[in-house]
Structure 1
Protein backbone atom coordinates (compact mmCIF):
# COMPACT_ATOMS: atom_id res chain seq x y z
CA UNK A 1 0.00 0.00 0.00
CA UNK A 2 1.26 3.54 -0.74
CA UNK A 3 2.14 5.62 2.34
CA UNK A 4 -0.48 8.03 3.59
CA UNK A 5 -0.07 11.62 2.47
CA UNK A 6 1.20 14.03 5.11
CA UNK A 7 -1.45 16.42 6.44
CA UNK A 8 -1.54 19.78 4.69
CA UNK A 9 -0.10 22.58 6.79
CA UNK A 10 -2.77 25.26 7.04
CA UNK A 11 -2.31 28.95 7.70
CA UNK A 12 -4.85 31.75 7.34
CA UNK A 13 -3.83 35.41 7.64
CA UNK A 14 -6.67 37.58 6.32
CA UNK A 15 -5.52 40.93 4.96
CA UNK A 16 -8.73 42.80 5.70
CA UNK A 17 -8.27 46.60 5.92
CA UNK A 18 -10.41 46.92 9.07
CA UNK A 19 -8.48 44.16 10.78
CA UNK A 20 -5.14 45.72 9.81
CA UNK A 21 -6.26 49.15 11.07
CA UNK A 22 -7.32 47.83 14.47
CA UNK A 23 -4.12 45.83 14.78
CA UNK A 24 -2.04 48.92 14.00
CA UNK A 25 -3.80 50.75 16.83
CA UNK A 26 -2.96 47.86 19.16
CA UNK A 27 0.71 48.14 18.20
CA UNK A 28 0.86 51.85 19.05
CA UNK A 29 2.65 52.45 22.36
CA UNK A 30 0.27 55.35 23.02
CA UNK A 31 -2.79 53.07 23.12
CA UNK A 32 -4.02 52.75 26.71
CA UNK A 33 -5.32 49.71 28.57
CA UNK A 34 -9.04 50.35 27.96
CA UNK A 35 -8.66 50.93 24.23
CA UNK A 36 -6.18 48.07 23.85
CA UNK A 37 -8.58 45.68 25.54
CA UNK A 38 -11.46 46.80 23.34
CA UNK A 39 -9.35 46.47 20.20
CA UNK A 40 -8.20 42.97 21.20
CA UNK A 41 -11.82 41.90 21.59
CA UNK A 42 -12.79 43.42 18.22
CA UNK A 43 -9.83 41.80 16.43
CA UNK A 44 -10.80 38.48 18.00
CA UNK A 45 -14.31 38.75 16.56
CA UNK A 46 -12.92 39.50 13.09
CA UNK A 47 -10.60 36.49 13.38
CA UNK A 48 -13.48 34.31 14.53
CA UNK A 49 -15.34 35.24 11.35
CA UNK A 50 -12.44 33.77 9.34
CA UNK A 51 -11.74 30.80 11.62
CA UNK A 52 -15.36 29.67 11.57
CA UNK A 53 -15.89 30.11 7.85
CA UNK A 54 -16.01 26.34 7.34
CA UNK A 55 -18.59 25.52 10.03
CA UNK A 56 -21.17 23.08 8.73
CA UNK A 57 -24.76 24.15 8.10
CA UNK A 58 -27.95 22.30 7.26
CA UNK A 59 -31.25 23.60 5.91
CA UNK A 60 -34.07 24.12 8.38
CA UNK A 61 -37.64 25.08 7.56
CA UNK A 62 -38.58 28.41 9.13
CA UNK A 63 -41.42 30.85 8.76
CA UNK A 64 -40.71 34.53 8.17
CA UNK A 65 -43.53 37.11 8.48
CA UNK A 66 -44.14 36.59 4.74
CA UNK A 67 -43.34 32.98 3.82
CA UNK A 68 -42.09 29.56 4.87
CA UNK A 69 -38.79 28.42 3.39
CA UNK A 70 -35.54 26.58 4.14
CA UNK A 71 -32.64 28.53 5.64
CA UNK A 72 -29.12 27.48 6.71
CA UNK A 73 -28.54 26.76 10.39
CA UNK A 74 -25.37 25.57 12.12
CA UNK A 75 -25.04 21.80 12.29
CA UNK A 76 -22.29 19.25 12.82
CA UNK A 77 -20.02 19.17 15.84
CA UNK A 78 -20.61 21.55 18.71
CA UNK A 79 -17.89 24.04 19.55
CA UNK A 80 -15.42 24.64 22.36
CA UNK A 81 -13.38 27.77 23.03
CA UNK A 82 -10.17 27.14 24.97
CA UNK A 83 -8.01 30.00 26.22
CA UNK A 84 -4.33 29.78 27.02
CA UNK A 85 -4.19 31.76 30.26
CA UNK A 86 -4.06 34.56 30.81
CA UNK A 87 -4.00 36.59 27.61
CA UNK A 88 -6.20 34.17 25.65
CA UNK A 89 -9.13 35.04 27.90
CA UNK A 90 -9.85 38.30 26.06
CA UNK A 91 -10.32 36.33 22.85
CA UNK A 92 -12.65 33.65 24.21
CA UNK A 93 -14.69 36.18 26.17
CA UNK A 94 -15.41 38.16 23.01
CA UNK A 95 -16.03 35.08 20.84
CA UNK A 96 -18.52 33.53 23.24
CA UNK A 97 -20.86 36.41 22.42
CA UNK A 98 -21.01 35.06 18.87
CA UNK A 99 -21.54 31.45 19.94
CA UNK A 100 -23.03 31.49 23.45
CA UNK A 101 -23.73 27.75 23.33
CA UNK A 102 -20.01 26.95 23.05
CA UNK A 103 -18.32 25.41 26.06
CA UNK A 104 -15.23 27.17 27.42
CA UNK A 105 -12.01 25.66 28.69
CA UNK A 106 -8.74 27.01 30.11
CA UNK A 107 -5.12 25.89 29.94
CA UNK A 108 -2.65 27.62 32.24
CA UNK A 109 0.92 27.98 30.98
CA UNK A 110 3.71 30.42 31.64
CA UNK A 111 7.03 30.81 29.88
CA UNK A 112 10.20 30.21 31.85
CA UNK A 113 12.20 33.45 31.48
CA UNK A 114 15.51 31.58 31.06
CA UNK A 115 14.69 28.56 28.90
CA UNK A 116 11.68 30.26 27.21
CA UNK A 117 9.92 26.87 27.47
CA UNK A 118 6.32 26.54 28.73
CA UNK A 119 5.50 25.42 32.26
CA UNK A 120 1.98 24.04 32.85
CA UNK A 121 0.09 24.95 36.02
CA UNK A 122 -3.63 24.49 35.20
CA UNK A 123 -6.01 22.66 32.85
CA UNK A 124 -9.81 22.59 32.90
CA UNK A 125 -11.52 21.38 29.72
CA UNK A 126 -15.07 20.34 28.77
CA UNK A 127 -15.60 16.65 29.45
CA UNK A 128 -16.92 16.11 25.93
CA UNK A 129 -13.97 17.87 24.26
CA UNK A 130 -13.53 14.91 21.89
CA UNK A 131 -16.98 15.60 20.41
CA UNK A 132 -16.37 19.31 19.76
CA UNK A 133 -14.50 21.49 17.31
CA UNK A 134 -11.93 23.34 19.39
CA UNK A 135 -10.76 26.92 18.87
CA UNK A 136 -7.62 27.49 20.93
CA UNK A 137 -6.84 31.16 21.63
CA UNK A 138 -3.63 32.99 22.49
CA UNK A 139 -2.87 36.51 21.22
CA UNK A 140 0.83 35.82 20.56
CA UNK A 141 2.43 32.90 18.74
CA UNK A 142 6.10 33.61 19.47
CA UNK A 143 8.41 30.65 20.13
CA UNK A 144 5.45 28.31 19.74
CA UNK A 145 6.23 26.40 22.91
CA UNK A 146 3.05 27.32 24.77
CA UNK A 147 0.86 26.62 21.73
CA UNK A 148 2.41 23.18 21.19
CA UNK A 149 2.06 22.33 24.89
CA UNK A 150 -1.59 23.44 24.87
CA UNK A 151 -2.34 21.40 21.76
CA UNK A 152 -0.62 18.41 23.38
CA UNK A 153 -2.95 18.84 26.37
CA UNK A 154 -6.03 19.09 24.15
CA UNK A 155 -5.14 15.98 22.17
CA UNK A 156 -4.37 14.03 25.34
CA UNK A 157 -7.90 14.92 26.48
CA UNK A 158 -9.33 13.56 23.22
CA UNK A 159 -9.69 16.66 21.05
CA UNK A 160 -9.50 15.81 17.36
CA UNK A 161 -10.42 19.04 15.55
CA UNK A 162 -8.34 22.04 16.65
CA UNK A 163 -7.73 25.51 15.24
CA UNK A 164 -5.23 27.88 16.82
CA UNK A 165 -6.27 31.55 16.77
CA UNK A 166 -3.65 34.24 17.37
CA UNK A 167 -3.44 37.98 16.86
CA UNK A 168 0.28 38.03 16.05
CA UNK A 169 2.56 35.24 14.85
CA UNK A 170 6.13 34.82 13.64
CA UNK A 171 7.60 32.22 11.25
CA UNK A 172 9.48 30.48 14.08
CA UNK A 173 6.30 29.85 16.07
CA UNK A 174 4.28 28.83 13.02
CA UNK A 175 6.94 26.29 12.04
CA UNK A 176 7.16 24.84 15.54
CA UNK A 177 3.40 24.34 15.74
CA UNK A 178 3.18 22.82 12.27
CA UNK A 179 6.17 20.55 12.86
CA UNK A 180 4.56 19.18 16.02
CA UNK A 181 0.93 19.30 14.86
CA UNK A 182 0.61 19.59 11.06
CA UNK A 183 -3.13 18.94 11.29
CA UNK A 184 -3.78 22.16 13.25
CA UNK A 185 -4.75 25.23 11.25
CA UNK A 186 -3.40 28.58 12.44
CA UNK A 187 -5.57 31.67 11.98
CA UNK A 188 -3.65 34.89 12.68
CA UNK A 189 -4.17 38.58 12.07
CA UNK A 190 -0.54 39.18 11.04
CA UNK A 191 2.84 37.50 10.66
CA UNK A 192 5.67 39.66 12.01
CA UNK A 193 9.40 39.55 11.25
CA UNK A 194 10.65 37.37 14.09
CA UNK A 195 11.80 37.26 17.72
CA UNK A 196 14.31 39.30 19.71
CA UNK A 197 16.83 37.84 22.16
CA UNK A 198 14.16 37.67 24.88
CA UNK A 199 11.66 35.76 22.74
CA UNK A 200 9.36 38.74 22.08
CA UNK A 201 7.73 39.35 18.71
CA UNK A 202 9.30 42.18 16.67
CA UNK A 203 7.96 44.70 15.74
CA UNK A 204 5.05 43.22 17.71
CA UNK A 205 2.92 45.09 20.22
CA UNK A 206 4.67 44.36 23.50
CA UNK A 207 3.44 41.81 26.04
CA UNK A 208 -0.23 41.22 25.20
CA UNK A 209 -1.16 40.13 28.72
CA UNK A 210 0.45 43.16 30.34
CA UNK A 211 -1.21 45.54 27.90
CA UNK A 212 -4.64 43.89 28.27
CA UNK A 213 -4.58 43.87 32.06
CA UNK A 214 -2.37 46.91 32.71
CA UNK A 215 0.14 44.95 34.76
CA UNK A 216 3.25 46.73 33.44
Structure 2
Protein backbone atom coordinates (compact mmCIF):
# COMPACT_ATOMS: atom_id res chain seq x y z
CA UNK A 1 0.00 0.00 0.00
CA UNK A 2 1.21 3.49 -0.88
CA UNK A 3 2.27 5.66 2.04
CA UNK A 4 -0.16 8.44 1.18
CA UNK A 5 -3.23 6.14 1.17
CA UNK A 6 -5.35 5.48 4.25
CA UNK A 7 -8.17 2.93 4.29
CA UNK A 8 -10.71 3.18 7.12
CA UNK A 9 -10.66 -0.54 7.88
CA UNK A 10 -13.43 -0.86 10.45
CA UNK A 11 -16.22 -3.46 10.82
CA UNK A 12 -18.97 -0.83 10.82
CA UNK A 13 -17.56 0.76 7.67
CA UNK A 14 -17.61 -2.61 5.87
CA UNK A 15 -21.13 -3.20 7.19
CA UNK A 16 -22.44 0.13 5.91
CA UNK A 17 -20.69 -0.26 2.55
CA UNK A 18 -22.50 -3.56 2.05
CA UNK A 19 -25.81 -1.67 2.16
CA UNK A 20 -24.56 0.99 -0.27
CA UNK A 21 -23.51 -1.69 -2.76
CA UNK A 22 -27.02 -3.20 -2.78
CA UNK A 23 -28.94 -1.89 -5.79
CA UNK A 24 -32.26 -2.37 -3.94
CA UNK A 25 -31.33 0.11 -1.18
CA UNK A 26 -33.95 2.94 -1.12
CA UNK A 27 -32.66 6.42 -1.89
CA UNK A 28 -33.45 7.68 1.62
CA UNK A 29 -31.26 4.99 3.18
CA UNK A 30 -28.53 5.48 0.57
CA UNK A 31 -28.34 9.17 1.45
CA UNK A 32 -28.35 8.49 5.19
CA UNK A 33 -25.49 5.97 5.01
CA UNK A 34 -23.41 8.21 2.75
CA UNK A 35 -23.84 10.97 5.33
CA UNK A 36 -22.77 8.64 8.15
CA UNK A 37 -19.65 7.49 6.30
CA UNK A 38 -18.73 11.05 5.36
CA UNK A 39 -18.57 11.92 9.07
CA UNK A 40 -16.05 9.09 9.55
CA UNK A 41 -14.03 10.36 6.59
CA UNK A 42 -14.05 13.86 8.11
CA UNK A 43 -12.86 12.45 11.44
CA UNK A 44 -9.88 10.75 9.81
CA UNK A 45 -9.05 13.66 7.51
CA UNK A 46 -8.94 16.26 10.29
CA UNK A 47 -6.77 14.36 12.80
CA UNK A 48 -3.78 16.65 12.25
CA UNK A 49 -5.51 20.03 12.37
CA UNK A 50 -3.65 22.55 14.50
CA UNK A 51 -5.12 23.65 17.83
CA UNK A 52 -4.73 26.72 20.01
CA UNK A 53 -5.15 27.05 23.75
CA UNK A 54 -7.95 29.21 25.13
CA UNK A 55 -9.03 29.99 28.68
CA UNK A 56 -12.65 29.07 29.38
CA UNK A 57 -14.93 29.22 32.41
CA UNK A 58 -16.26 25.86 33.61
CA UNK A 59 -19.83 25.36 34.90
CA UNK A 60 -18.55 25.58 38.49
CA UNK A 61 -16.96 28.96 37.78
CA UNK A 62 -13.33 27.85 37.70
CA UNK A 63 -11.01 28.64 34.80
CA UNK A 64 -9.22 26.05 32.70
CA UNK A 65 -7.22 26.00 29.49
CA UNK A 66 -8.92 24.15 26.62
CA UNK A 67 -7.79 23.35 23.10
CA UNK A 68 -9.75 24.71 20.13
CA UNK A 69 -9.30 24.72 16.39
CA UNK A 70 -7.44 27.57 14.79
CA UNK A 71 -9.86 29.96 13.12
CA UNK A 72 -10.75 29.41 9.46
CA UNK A 73 -8.19 26.71 8.73
CA UNK A 74 -10.33 24.17 6.87
CA UNK A 75 -12.08 24.13 3.50
CA UNK A 76 -14.21 21.36 2.03
CA UNK A 77 -14.05 21.28 -1.77
CA UNK A 78 -16.62 18.89 -3.31
CA UNK A 79 -16.20 17.98 -6.96
CA UNK A 80 -19.72 18.63 -8.22
CA UNK A 81 -22.13 17.16 -8.48
CA UNK A 82 -21.44 13.82 -6.79
CA UNK A 83 -18.96 15.30 -4.31
CA UNK A 84 -21.76 17.30 -2.70
CA UNK A 85 -23.13 14.01 -1.37
CA UNK A 86 -20.29 13.96 1.18
CA UNK A 87 -20.56 17.62 2.16
CA UNK A 88 -23.47 17.51 4.61
CA UNK A 89 -21.84 14.90 6.84
CA UNK A 90 -18.54 16.76 6.73
CA UNK A 91 -20.24 19.97 7.86
CA UNK A 92 -22.05 18.06 10.60
CA UNK A 93 -18.61 17.23 11.97
CA UNK A 94 -16.93 20.61 11.32
CA UNK A 95 -19.70 23.23 10.91
CA UNK A 96 -17.20 26.12 10.95
CA UNK A 97 -15.38 24.96 7.81
CA UNK A 98 -15.57 27.04 4.65
CA UNK A 99 -16.74 25.48 1.39
CA UNK A 100 -15.57 25.83 -2.19
CA UNK A 101 -16.90 24.17 -5.32
CA UNK A 102 -15.38 22.82 -8.49
CA UNK A 103 -17.14 21.25 -11.46
CA UNK A 104 -14.97 18.71 -13.24
CA UNK A 105 -16.62 16.15 -15.46
CA UNK A 106 -15.04 13.30 -17.36
CA UNK A 107 -15.99 12.87 -21.00
CA UNK A 108 -17.87 9.59 -21.45
CA UNK A 109 -15.87 8.66 -24.56
CA UNK A 110 -12.34 9.94 -23.89
CA UNK A 111 -12.62 9.73 -20.06
CA UNK A 112 -10.60 12.96 -19.91
CA UNK A 113 -11.62 15.52 -17.28
CA UNK A 114 -12.87 18.99 -18.21
CA UNK A 115 -13.20 21.89 -15.79
CA UNK A 116 -16.41 23.96 -16.00
CA UNK A 117 -16.52 25.97 -12.76
CA UNK A 118 -14.33 26.91 -9.80
CA UNK A 119 -15.30 29.01 -6.78
CA UNK A 120 -13.23 29.12 -3.61
CA UNK A 121 -13.28 31.09 -0.34
CA UNK A 122 -10.75 33.81 0.42
CA UNK A 123 -7.30 32.91 1.74
CA UNK A 124 -7.58 29.40 0.37
CA UNK A 125 -3.81 29.12 0.35
CA UNK A 126 -3.79 29.17 4.17
CA UNK A 127 -6.28 26.33 4.60
CA UNK A 128 -6.25 22.57 4.65
CA UNK A 129 -8.38 21.70 1.63
CA UNK A 130 -10.27 18.40 1.68
CA UNK A 131 -11.43 17.45 -1.81
CA UNK A 132 -14.59 15.35 -1.86
CA UNK A 133 -15.86 12.80 -4.37
CA UNK A 134 -17.67 9.53 -3.55
CA UNK A 135 -15.68 7.56 -6.14
CA UNK A 136 -12.06 7.49 -7.28
CA UNK A 137 -12.24 5.52 -10.53
CA UNK A 138 -9.77 6.50 -13.27
CA UNK A 139 -8.54 9.42 -11.18
CA UNK A 140 -8.82 11.88 -14.08
CA UNK A 141 -11.39 14.16 -12.42
CA UNK A 142 -9.56 14.15 -9.09
CA UNK A 143 -6.21 14.90 -10.74
CA UNK A 144 -7.67 17.81 -12.73
CA UNK A 145 -9.53 19.21 -9.71
CA UNK A 146 -6.47 19.07 -7.47
CA UNK A 147 -4.32 20.66 -10.16
CA UNK A 148 -6.79 23.57 -10.33
CA UNK A 149 -6.93 23.91 -6.54
CA UNK A 150 -3.14 23.97 -6.34
CA UNK A 151 -3.15 26.82 -8.87
CA UNK A 152 -5.13 28.79 -6.27
CA UNK A 153 -2.15 28.45 -3.93
CA UNK A 154 -3.21 25.57 -1.70
CA UNK A 155 -0.28 23.71 -0.16
CA UNK A 156 -2.06 21.14 2.02
CA UNK A 157 -4.59 18.83 0.35
CA UNK A 158 -6.45 15.63 1.18
CA UNK A 159 -8.67 13.65 -1.17
CA UNK A 160 -11.56 11.82 0.53
CA UNK A 161 -13.81 9.24 -1.13
CA UNK A 162 -16.05 6.33 -0.20
CA UNK A 163 -14.68 3.82 -2.70
CA UNK A 164 -11.56 3.78 -4.87
CA UNK A 165 -10.17 1.65 -7.67
CA UNK A 166 -6.48 0.66 -7.60
CA UNK A 167 -6.07 2.33 -11.00
CA UNK A 168 -7.37 5.65 -9.67
CA UNK A 169 -5.28 5.47 -6.52
CA UNK A 170 -2.15 4.82 -8.60
CA UNK A 171 -2.89 7.61 -11.07
CA UNK A 172 -3.68 10.20 -8.39
CA UNK A 173 -0.65 9.21 -6.30
CA UNK A 174 1.66 9.55 -9.29
CA UNK A 175 0.20 12.89 -10.38
CA UNK A 176 0.01 14.38 -6.87
CA UNK A 177 2.26 12.37 -4.51
CA UNK A 178 1.89 15.05 -1.82
CA UNK A 179 -1.89 14.53 -1.52
CA UNK A 180 -3.15 12.09 1.08
CA UNK A 181 -5.98 9.80 -0.01
CA UNK A 182 -8.54 8.64 2.54
CA UNK A 183 -11.12 6.05 1.52
CA UNK A 184 -13.44 3.45 3.02
CA UNK A 185 -12.43 0.79 0.50
CA UNK A 186 -10.08 0.04 -2.38
CA UNK A 187 -12.09 -2.27 -4.62
CA UNK A 188 -11.00 -4.83 -7.22
CA UNK A 189 -10.60 -2.54 -10.22
CA UNK A 190 -12.35 -0.96 -13.20
CA UNK A 191 -14.61 -2.61 -15.76
CA UNK A 192 -14.55 -1.91 -19.51
CA UNK A 193 -16.63 1.25 -18.98
CA UNK A 194 -14.25 2.46 -16.24
CA UNK A 195 -16.77 1.86 -13.47
CA UNK A 196 -15.44 0.55 -10.15
CA UNK A 197 -16.00 -3.15 -9.47
CA UNK A 198 -17.81 -4.00 -7.24
CA UNK A 199 -18.24 -0.27 -6.55
CA UNK A 200 -21.50 1.48 -5.75
CA UNK A 201 -22.82 2.00 -9.26
CA UNK A 202 -23.12 5.68 -10.20
CA UNK A 203 -23.07 7.20 -6.72
CA UNK A 204 -24.20 10.62 -7.95
CA UNK A 205 -27.23 9.23 -9.77
CA UNK A 206 -28.16 7.03 -6.83
CA UNK A 207 -27.83 9.91 -4.36
CA UNK A 208 -29.84 12.38 -6.45
CA UNK A 209 -32.32 9.89 -7.93
CA UNK A 210 -31.41 10.64 -11.54
TM-score range, shorter chain: over 0.9
2-side partners of 1:136 and 1:60: how far apart?
Answer: 30
Q: Which residue of 1 aligns with 2:155?
A: 160
3-state secondary structure, aligned to 1:178: helix
Q: CA RMSD in A?
A: 1.4
Gaps of 5+ in 2: none
Residue 103 (structure 1) aligned with residue 101 (structure 2): no
Q: CA deviation at 1:77?
A: 6.2
Task: Specify which of 67, 71, 75 is matched with residue 80 of structure 1.
Answer: 75
Q: Which residue of 1 aligns with 2:34?
A: 40
Q: CA deviation at 1:75?
A: 2.4
Q: Which residue of 1 aligns with 2:54?
A: 60
Q: Which residue of 1 aligns with 2:24?
A: 30
2-side partners of 1:181 and 1:76: how far apart?
Answer: 27
Q: CA deviation at 1:202?
A: 0.1
1-side partners of 2:144 and 2:165: how far apart?
Answer: 17
Q: Which residue of 1 aligns with 2:124?
A: 129
Q: Which residue of 1 aligns with 2:144?
A: 149
Query: What TM-score, normalized by structure 2, do the two folds share?
Result: 0.95
Q: Flag as ranges the 4+ runs of structure 1 deviating above 2 A.
A: none
2-side partners of 1:179 and 1:129: how far apart?
Answer: 24
What is the number of equivalent residue pairs in this alignment?
208
Residue 214 (structure 1) aligned with residue 209 (structure 2): yes
Gaps of 5+ in 1: 1-7
3-state secondary structure, aligned to 1:37: helix
Task: Specify which of 132, 135, 143 is matched with residue 140 of structure 1.
Answer: 135
1-side partners of 2:54 and 2:18: how far apart?
Answer: 41
